[in-house]
Amino acid sequence: METPTMRQRFEEYILNLQEEIITSFETLDPNAPKFKRDSWLRAHQGGKGVSGVFFAPPPTDASPGPQTILEKAGVNISVVHGMLPPAAIKEMRADHSSIPYDEKTSLPFFAAGISLVVHPRNPHAPTVHANYRYFEISEKAAEGEGTGKVVAWWFGGGSDLTPSYLYDEDARHFHTTLQNACNQHGSELYPVFKKWCDEYFYIVHRQETRGIGGLFFDDLSAEKHARLSDNVKRPRSSEEIFDFIKAVGNSFVPSYLPILERRMSMPSTDQHRRWQLLRRGRYVEFNLVYDRGTKFGLKTPSARIESILMSLPETARWEYMTDMGSDLESEEGRLIAVLKQPIDWAGLEK
């Protein structure tokens, strides 16, 4: 019996994780519509995927819509392969020098990942995002010889929280859960990846972060890493890094579900809803202007647009010169202060 490849093992893991996450939300709100499962194939190239999307259909008459815990959510899997053009290979060699390159040769690639975004209905319950992915490049095999030798591979991912209203206990819980998952594999990982997250999810034109952060990392492989020390404990082999990915992936449900359960039934006002929609507007701004995955997806030929834009909220708001958040003593202003100056939540005293 052949040993499963990393491709096969990673695909199996993210499919199981997808089911675990969707089931946890469906169990929390058993009277809500189920997530819509949608399997697809990548036309003209290689690959497949499974989308799990939640939405509550709008009412067809004057009655109020269903009061579900979630307003919109998606937990999506993609497993794709094909040929990587020389221009893309040249760019990737900056972090992966083992990739062979000449200006005329394309190379086979494989990419698999899980990506999720959850927008709850209650303004006090935060939006959450996470994704975990695996990428590999192979040598070009001779005709009829199947897949060539893997010449480069790496993992990436992260998880981050975007509240409309700031609750310190929620922020500490989310960050501490991620920190505990990271610390199993090296004490340097959490502080480096937390800082990377704050830098990545930064809305430059607003001079504020999208949310209160979490983890962001990319290019984890056996090669030297630009952000990690070379002389401290960290996962280096594909097995060690895969174990790390599973640790942080498995931490998603315990990091987020307790927060959602705590906030999903809190009383809210029209002002709370207005602020939630304004914050969602900032979420849209980041995703469409800065997010690398969204921009890459929209430029990809035959892209599955519905999956790419799954991350956007169902409703959002923009106000000209809004005054909400300008009073630093208000609940809204307290959030803005933290978005402009990120906090070490895992190290914060209770």
Residues labelled as active-site residues:
129
Neighbours of 69 (CB within 10 A): 22
Q: Are 238 and 150 in contact (CB under 8 A)?
A: no
Q: Where are the alpha helices (DSSP H) in the chain?
A: 6-28, 86-92, 168-183, 189-200, 238-250, 252-263, 270-289, 292-299, 305-308, 331-340
Strand partners, 130: 116, 159
- What residues contact residue 173 under an 8 Å CB cut-off, 6+ apart? 255, 258, 259
Helix (H) or strand (E) holding 313: none
Instruction: Please say whether the dihedral angle defined by the alpha carbons of residues 83, 86, 88 and 93, taken in this order, is positive or negative.
Output: positive
Coil, strand or helix: which one is 149? coil
Rounded-to-10 torsion of CA 251, 254, 257, 263: -120
347/335 Cα distance (integer angstroms): 18
227 HSE (CA, 13 A, CB side) = 17
What is the per-residue burial (b if ≥16 Cβ within 10 Å, else e) of 184-199? ebbebbbebbbebbbe
Question: Which residues, in sequence order, are CB contacts of 176 under 8 Å at separation 6+?
Answer: 345, 346
Structure tokens at 214: 């979490």
Do 254 and 177 touch, CB atoms closer than 8 A? yes
